[in-house]
Homo-oligomer: A and B are copies of this chain.
Amino acid sequence: MSDNEFPNTVNSKVKSKLKEVSTATLTSQLLKRGFRNTFIPNLKPTRSDLQMVGYAYTLRYVPAREDFGMEVNYDNDKDVQRIAVESIGSEEVLVIDARSSMEAASFGHILATRLSMRNAAGLVTDGALRDSPRFSELEFPAYYQGAHATTSSIIHYPVDTNIPIGCNGVLVMPGDIVVGDAEGVVIIPASLAEEVAHDAYEQDLLEEFSLKKVKNGLSIKGVYPANKETFEEFQKSRKDK
C-alpha cells in the first residue's frame, strides 16, 4: 500500500470482473451514467496481451528549467519521480501527467521494473517511454504515447504525487480505478466502479451472445442492440449453463 492509502474501494469480485471486460464496454457504461470523457486517447500498450486493473497513483511533471530539474544524475532522496516509484503500493497504477510532451522521455525501463517488483498494477503516461523496446520483457502493463530515448530530466521536473491531474485531456483523481486493455486505458470514478464493473460484465456477455448470432448470419435488427426477445433468449441461455 502506498503512503496515500485509498480505501479498498473495490472488492476482489469487482476486480475480477474488471479483468475480463473491455474498455469499450466500460466507456459505454460510464456514458450511460453521463460520463463522456473517460478514455485516455492516443496511448498504446507495451503488452497488448495483459489486462491492467488498479488504483490511480498520480505523478505530475512541470516543464524543467535550468534551476529546477535538468540534472543528469538523479537523487533518489529528493527526486519526486523516484520517491513515487518507491512509495507506490501494490494494486496501484502510476499515472503520469507529462503534459503530453514528446520532446523527451517521461519514464524508463529500470524504474518500470521496480514498479513491477513492488507489485504495482501498471504504468500510464501521456508522454514518452525510453528503453521502450525492453518493456516487452516485463510482465507488467504500461501505456504510453510514444518512444523517446532522451532522459526525462531535460524536459520534465516532477513536482507532486496524488493530486488531481490531466492525462491526455482526461481527469485522473487519485484512487480512481484504472483499467487497460489492448485498446487503451479508461478511468472509472471510484464511487462508480462496482456498478460499472457489474453492468459492463453483463453487457459483454450479452454482446457475445449477439455477436454469435451475427456470425451465424442474422441481421443486426433485434440482435444488436438486443430487443426483448433476444434479451430473454440470452437470459434463458445463461440459466441453462
Contact = CB atoms under 8 A, between A and B. Distances in A.
A205 interface: no
Interface in A176-204: 181-184, 186, 189, 191
Contact of A72 (B28, B133, B186, B191): B28
Interface in A68-125: 68, 72-74, 76-77, 82, 85-86, 99, 101-103, 105, 108-111, 113-114, 117
Interface string A25-50: 01110011111111101100000100
Given A163-B160, A221-B86, A149 B76 contact: no
Interface string A217-228: 101111011000
Contacts of A14: none
> How many identical chains are in the complex?
6
Interface string A121-136: 0000000001111000
Interface stretch (A4-12, A151-159, A232-240): A151-159
Given A31-B151, A220-B111, A41 B183 contact: no
A210 B42 CA distance: 32
A27 B128 CA distance: 15
Q: Which of A159, A170, A221, A224 has the most CB of B within 10 A?
A: A224
Contacts of A151: 24, 27-28, 31
B32 A72 contact: yes
Interface string A49-68: 00000000000001111111
19 contacts: A31-B150, A31-B151, A33-B66, A36-B66, A36-B150, A36-B154, A41-B148, A42-B146, A62-B171, A65-B171, A68-B171, A68-B173, A76-B225, A110-B214, A111-B220, A114-B214, A114-B220, A132-B183, A149-B186
